[in-house]
Structure 1
Amino acid sequence: MRKKLSGYSAIFRINVTPQNICMPRAYWSKTFPKSNFKSIFGLKISKLLSRVKRSVSKRLSHLGYLAGAREESARSLDRAVPGTILVLCYGNIYRSPFAANRLAALLVNTQWAVKSAGFFHKENRSCVNDMVELAKSYDVNLEDHRSKKVSTAALDEAELIVIMDSANRELLADFSDLAIGKVVWIAAYSNRIRADIQDPYGLSSRKLNQIVCQLNDGIETLASRLKLTNS
């Protein structure tokens, strides 16, 4: 009886344990050959390096673009004398009305006057509720604002033309080369690596909040620079 039990136990250990608990070396060799490990690992490293390269290249491109925007803005400010500042964006219902009102408040008791306009053909549009409510946190009232389309006369009158992005500059170039000589990029004075302040139209409230914060950062710095010009 003991021999039978002992034999049965031995058979159980031999037949069950290796098959159900231990993975034979042959199984691993067939399922995960060394060549596959090398190729998979190499592919992942290659993809990672490509992603890093694109990211660095993109960042350097943005930095170069921003440097150009700052140079152009500096030239415009160096030539300017206190007068009218025209703040532009595409639709004149988000960025430019906020920037114009905020800038005007910061330049009170100076010789600078601030106006806003847009390139969109429809006029008399009001700001959306999200923008109106967000502006209040910066002591800016946009409830009575109505959009205006920029005119050649307004561009001629302006001493400085504040823009939000490269699209604004391209549209402005269609008017005249003289207008380009007055350009100031608002993002050139914000703590960003990009020269553009994104258009928040159709974006979430959270994104709108981020954009307005970036915009306000540039406005405050620009206002300080303009006060020096005014003195």
Structure 2
Amino acid sequence: MGKSLMSFADSSEHEIEPERKVGKLKAFRFFGARRESKKRARALTLGGNILVLCLGNICRSPVVETLLKKSLPGELFQIRSRGLLPLDSQPSPEDYAKQAKSLGVDLSDHLSNPISAEDISWATIILIMDDSNREGLRRYGEMALSKVVWLGAWDPSGDIVIPDPFREPPQTQRQIITRMKRVSSHFTAWLIHTVNSHRNQISRP
């Protein structure tokens, strides 16, 4: 009996170990993504074009676009949002838009736009929400991938991934919208500080 229990314990340890390794590799990869995102976002030191991307451009990216437009000076930053799916002129889901509005984000006039090669060329950086967004940009080549910045890199208290709230329960939608508000606030504060620091440096005699 003791031998069989020991054998079971050994086999279980071997089964769990790969999961631990995957978790460590994922954590290391996302740590690198955070660091690389902040490095790439410094391309906006003098201003620039911010493209906010998600899957359909009906839930996450329009919320972030709205928040950034409210917080960043228009004379320095141009902001637009797009989706990877070929959804053209689709409104945000009614239930989701209701949750967003209750949290101070009005999506009533938003209509979806699919991403294009022109958007890629226009963008200084491309703010993404999850790994599927990054994978979806591969078809646009290295130029698109070199502009990828994870919005979640500015959330020190959470995962770098911002999940899709589409068809999720209302409470989950509210949690994700609230998180996007928090992360967008961190991002804009960091960006404004970076711009001001650069201005102070170049103005010194």
Query: What TM bracket, shorter-length normalisation?
Result: 0.7 to 0.9
Structure 2 residue corresponding to 1:119, chosen from 84, 87, 109: 84
**Mind listing any 5+ residue stretches in structure 2 that lack a counterpart?**
197-205
Provide the rounded CA distance (Å) in 2 between the counterparts of 1:134 and 1:65: 33
Contact 1:63–1:194 at 8 Å: present in 2 too?
A: no
Contact 2:51–2:127 at 8 Å: present in 1 too?
A: yes
Provide the rounded CA distance (Å) in 1 between the counterparts of 2:11 and 2:171: 32
Contact 2:103–2:178 at 8 Å: present in 1 too?
A: no
Q: Does 1:66 pair with 2:35?
A: no
Q: Name the CA shift for 1:137/1:46 in 2 (closer, same or farther; >3 Å).
A: farther
Q: Write the letter of the residue equivalent to 1:101.
A: T
Contact 1:62–1:194 at 8 Å: present in 2 too?
A: no
RMSD: 2.5
**Mind listing any 5+ residue stretches in structure 1 that lack a counterpart?**
1-34
What is the CA deviation profile of residues 159-182 of structure 1, one whole-angstrom value per residue up to 9, with x for unaligned ones?
121011111111112113222222
Determine which structure has more spread, i.e. the larger CA radius of gyration.
Answer: 1
Provide the rounded CA distance (Å) in 1 between the counterparts of 2:189 and 2:89: 31
What is the CA deviation profile of residues 93-129 of structure 1, one whole-angstrom value per residue up to 9, with x for unaligned ones?
0110011111211214661121101011121111112
Provide the rounded CA distance (Å) in 2 between the counterparts of 1:54 and 1:166: 21
Identity %: 27
Contact 2:100–2:174 at 8 Å: present in 1 too?
A: no
Higher relative contact order (CA 8 A, sep 6+): 2
Q: Does 1:175 pair with 2:140?
A: yes
Provide the rounded CA distance (Å) in 2 between the counterparts of 1:210 and 1:47: 39
- In structure 2, the residue matched to 1:30 is none
Structure 1 residue corresponding to 2:121, chosen from 120, 140, 156: 156
Describe the SS at the equivalent of 1:61: helix
Provide the rounded CA distance (Å) in 2 between the counterparts of 1:43 and 1:135: 53
Describe the SS at the equivalent of 1:144: coil
- In structure 1, the residue matched to 2:58 is 93
Provide the rounded CA distance (Å) in 1 between the counterparts of 2:157 and 2:23: 11
Provide the rounded CA distance (Å) in 2 between the counterparts of 1:158 and 1:49: 47
Contact 2:38–2:153 at 8 Å: present in 1 too?
A: no
